[in-house]
Amino acid sequence: MNDLVAPMLAWYDAHARELPWRGEHATPWSVMVSEFMLQQTPVARVEPVHRLWMESWPTPAALAAAPSGEAVRAWGRLGYPRRALRLHAAATVIVEAYDGQVPSSYDDLVGLPGVGPYTAAAIAVFGYGERHAVLDTNVRRVLARLVVGDELPPVAVTSAERRRAEDLLPQDDAEAATWSIALMELGALVCTAAKPTCSGCPVADQCAWRAAGYPAYDGAPRKAQTWAGTDRQCRGRLMAVVRESPDPVPSSRLDRAWSDDAQRARCLTSLLTDGLLVETAVGYALPG
């Protein structure tokens, strides 16, 4: 065991947040749903939607039996609603190919719709206690500071990062899983991007970035995410109008939702192409 593990596990034991997709009662399906929802979305927004989702569809079979449009409706304002369609598609494959049980194998998981390398590792680790490196934004930032001495990790995951994370994993599967989630929690609560609280860090005395005097990030420029006036905002506005209506929405109502005609038309076309909306004889609706 490396010298970082024991203090990290002790810190996590004392400071772990109670979340519905954690703990002994959380099912692999609950973990999978949370991982889809948490992509680019903070915990505070995900938690209430996740609870409602699990009440409606506590198993993959329950979701697969529902219309995909109901999944989009229940997704609400989490953003990136294509995740809801992919989760519905993944549930359908789980029912058809895995007898309704979320697979535990990384190779099987990564073959599901909407499941990439990170999500497959996270489901295997947090749902089944398997031993894999889990490299989300928080974990990458913590390891960049703690081990390398950089304020922030590279823009994209590198093979060196992955090897480093794998080398640090405890050999015991259960300890490796807890280590992974402890790193994630430390990045979310203490070693944050903008204002790290080093006084609350259990491994601050071993941190390479702190020892180097907190050098500023000097890597490739990072794109700042914008919202106001973007196609993302326009798509979200159009989706909200349709999602909140029990009946198909006529074009005139969508016209009032966004004033830029060209942008509205472009975004509406993209929503139809993505399968998030369908056109009916009387207007636009969620898919059936």
Put simply, whether the predicted model's pTM sits higher than 0.85 gets the answer yes
Q: Does the structure show a pLDDT above 70 at 1? A: no
Which percentage of the chain shows pLDDT scores above 90?
Answer: 93
pLDDT confidence of residue 231: 95
The pLDDT of residue 88 is above 60: yes
Sequence-ordered list of residues with C-beta below 8 angstroms from that of 177, at least 6 positions apart, any chain: 125, 126, 129, 130, 131
What three-state secondary structure class fits 113?
coil
* Whole-number pLDDT of residue 152: 96
First-last CA distance in the chain: 52
Domain count within the chain: 1
- Give residue-wise pLDDT tens across range 22-68: 988 899 999 999 999 999 899 999 999 999 999 999 999 999 999 99
Residue 27 lies in a domain: no
What does the pLDDT look like over 130-174, one tens digit per residue?
999 999 999 999 999 999 999 999 999 999 999 999 999 999 999
Beta carbons of 155 and 163 less than 8 angstroms apart: no
Average pLDDT taken over every residue of the chain: 95
107 falls within a domain: no
Residue 149 belongs to a domain:
no
Q: What is the CATH number of the domain that holds 277?
A: 1.10.10
Distance CA 197, CA 115 (A): 33
- In-domain check, residue 210: no
Q: Place 221 in a pLDDT band, splitting at 50, 70 and 90.
A: confident
Go through the chain and tell me how many residues it has.
288
| 3 part of a folded domain | no
**Is residue 14 in some structural domain?**
no
Residue 116 has pLDDT above 90, yes or no: yes
Residue 36 within a domain: no
List active site positions: 35
Residue 239 lies in a domain: yes
Whole-angstrom distance, CA of residue 133 vs CA of residue 121:
7
How many Å apart are CA 98 and CA 28, to the nearest integer? Answer: 13
Domain that holds residue 243: 231-285
Is pLDDT of 83 > 70?
Answer: yes
| 187-197 residue pLDDT tens | 999 999 999 99
User: What is the identity of the amino acid at 222?
Assistant: R
Q: What is the tens place of the pLDDT at every residue in 195-215?
A: 999 999 999 999 999 999 999
Count of Cβ atoms closer than 10 Å to residue 103 Cβ: 24
As a whole number, mean pLDDT of residues 218-239 equals: 87
Phi, psi torsion values for 280, nearest 5 degrees: -110, 180
